[in-house]
Amino acid sequence: MDRTLVVHVLVLLGLTGLGVVTAQAAGPEPARRAELVRMVRQDCGSCHGMTLKGGLGPALLPESLAGKPSASLVATVMSGRPGTPMPGWSRFVNEAEAEWIIQRLQEGFPPVALGAGS
Amino acid sequence: MSRLVRCCQALCAAAALLLSACAHQPTAEVRGTGDLGIVIERATGSVQIVDHSRQTSLGRVEGLGDLSHAHATYSRDGRYAYVFGRDGGLTKVDLLARRIDRRVVQAGNSIGGSISQDGRLVVAQNYEPGGIKAFDAQTLELVSEVPAEYAPGQFSKVVGLADVSGNRFAYALFEAGEIWVTDFSTPAAPVTQRYPAGKQPYDGLVTPGGRYFMAGLFGEDGVSLLDLWQPGQGARRILGGYGRGEEKLPVYKMPHLRGWAVADGKAYLPAVGRHEVLVVDLTTWQEVGRIPVAGQPVFVMARPDGRQVWVNFAFPDNAQVQVIDTLDRRLLTTLSPGKAVLHMEFTPRGEHVWVSSRDDNRVTIYDTDTLQPLKVLPAQAPSGIFFTARAGRIGF
């Protein structure tokens, strides 16, 4: 067997493996991401503001979330916060999606594309 | 004599100037504003000015800031809309000239506002900094303010602001659990009375006619009721069963009480977290029925004659609108005006209703008799629809 071919195959396999890992770390598929972005802006936005600067609920901007552990933020999204109006959203998002949302919020949430059924 | 001639010449010149100035006004047509209104376009910070007789849009006014949660109230002549934006912007829109007359950014985070009985003050209710501010309705200059400081250094978000008689405004304080009534008879020196109300009032309204202010409570079951004819009696709890009950269901969007429907001596109001519209007898304040509906109700609004009640819903059931016949309290129909129905507004006498669908970028006009759609108008992510008929109503 040609050594270069083996190297090529190995490199390709490695790239494929890398691709899988990257896809997992990147979270939801693009179509689902768009749904999640819209849900956060519009539906979470009914209390937290569409610009996430806060309303009846607190602001969800990177500076307002700074220092709060991600795990507890994910738990708040999934199960809500007793004693406040914050409901749990586990009916609509799974744990991985909640983690993806929290990561995006911590780094500055993406906008909803205008006119794209937003 | 020559002085008189010079004087005449000057007058003629002035008249000519005035005439040419008039010719440049965009409002070529002389018309009233009684059948006009605005549609909020929440994502683009714009409003459309609409005509509900001709069922058309007359144009768009831009530059109103963050309208992701917006409310509008009207000058008593129905010419100007005061639009309160989420970012604290207060914009006075001239419906005839179709332009912004004035605009101020008066707070960091605002939720709405209202106009005084005499039409001279526009009052904004704010989350941040918590409190209310009164502005001159003509100039939008700040006249006075009442910070919602319920304990030293502690400020509350203000919800449910409503104008009532005597140039007073009633509102509730979310964190403080109180109802405040501020009297602006002396605009620069308002006088405020405080009434304990219950845990976490989230919205309020005045009953038609303006006698009772009611605040829905989130932190406990029930509604707090203040008789504005006898405020000294304090707020009392009614509808002990109203709220989330034993089994606390998640609430994905706070119901709006402002559309509280009153028909035939009964009030129809959104249940909190439940797929029900509650029916309450207005003489005993007792619940007398529940109507199962398609989702958690947000707005429960009566057609002006009271014969129908229209209901829209919270996420994820917000692509539907249901209509209830108040005579036998049954569902008449379920409509599909589009995705994410946010608001409904009846024409002043109720023959039509305009319904906004945020995610389908349109406003659908229904005939309330046939329950059929008449017309669809395009709009960019429309939310609130506000017709000038509000100018003459207490609590709007």
Tens-place pLDDT, residues B130-171: 999 999 999 999 999 999 999 999 999 999 999 999 999 999
Any domain includes B69: no
For B219-274, write each residue's pLDDT tens digit.
888 899 999 999 999 999 998 877 766 666 788 888 888 767 887 789 898 988 88
Cis preceding linkage at B129, omega within 30: yes
Omega prior to B304 cis, within 30 of 0? no
Total count of domains within chain B: 1
Domains identified in chain A and CATH numbers: 30-107 (1.10.760.10)
Confirm whether B8 is domain-assigned: no
Higher pLDDT, B20 or B323: B323
CATH of the domain at B164: 2.130.10.10
In a domain, B94, yes or no: no
User: Considering CB atoms only, which of B174, B315, B381 is closest to A56?
Assistant: B174
- Which of B127, B128, B218 is opposite residue A85, by nearest beta carbon? B218
- pLDDT value at residue A18: 44
| Mean of pLDDT over chain A | 80
B65 at interface of A, judged by CB pairs closer than 8 A: no
pLDDT exceeds cutoff 90 at B74:
yes
Do the Cβ atoms of B250 and A87 come within 8 Å?
yes
pLDDT computed for residue A113 by the predictor: 60
- Interface mutation vs chain A, best among B42, B44, B68, most A CBs within 10 Å: B68
Using the predicted structure, report yes or no on whether residue B111 has a pLDDT greater than 60.
yes
Percent of the residues in chain B that have a pLDDT greater than 70, as a whole number: 91
Mean pLDDT along residues A57-63: 94
| B175: pLDDT strictly greater than 70 | yes
Q: What is the pLDDT of residues B300-332, one digit of tens each?
A: 999 999 999 999 999 899 999 999 999 999 999
What is the distance between the alpha carbons of residues B1 and B108, in angstroms, rounded to a whole number? 63
**Interchain CB contact of B127 with A (< 8 Å):** yes
Burial (CB < 10 A; 0-12, 13-18, 19+), residue B206, is: buried
Q: Give residue B247's pLDDT.
A: 67
Q: Write the DSSP assignment of chain A as a string of letters.
A: --HHHHHHHHHHHHHHHHHHHHHHHH-S-HHHHHHHHHIIIIIIHHHH-TTSS-SSSPP-SHHHHTTS-HHHHHHHHHH--TTSS----TTT--HHHHHHHHHHHHH-PPPPPTTS--
How far apart (Å, rounded) are the C-alpha atoms in residues B250 and B253? 9
Evaluate if residue B24 carries a pLDDT over 90.
Answer: no
Of A53, A85, A117, the CB nearest to B109: A53
What pLDDT is recorded for position B339? 95
Residue-wise pLDDT for B278-293, tens only, equals 999 988 888 999 999 9
Q: Which residues 99-118 of B have a C-beta within 8 angstroms of A?
A: 108-109, 111
CA distance A59 to A52: 6
Cβ-based contacts of B247 with chain A (< 8 Å): none
Question: CB A118 to CB B43 under 8 A?
Answer: yes
Residues of the domain holding B139: 106-238
Answer yes or no: is B155 within a domain: yes
Contact of B66 with chain A, judged by CB distance below 8 Å, is answered with yes
**Residue B224 lies inside a defined structural domain of this protein:** yes
B367 CB within 8 Å of a chain A CB: no
Is the residue at B262 inside a domain?
Answer: no
All residues of chain A having their beta carbon less than 8 Å from the beta carbon of residue B42 are 50
Residue B10 has pLDDT above 70, yes or no: no
Q: Which of A51, A114, A118 sits opposite B68 (nearest CB)?
A: A51
Distance spanning both ends of chain B, measured CA to CA: 59
Q: Is B136 within the bounds of a domain?
A: yes
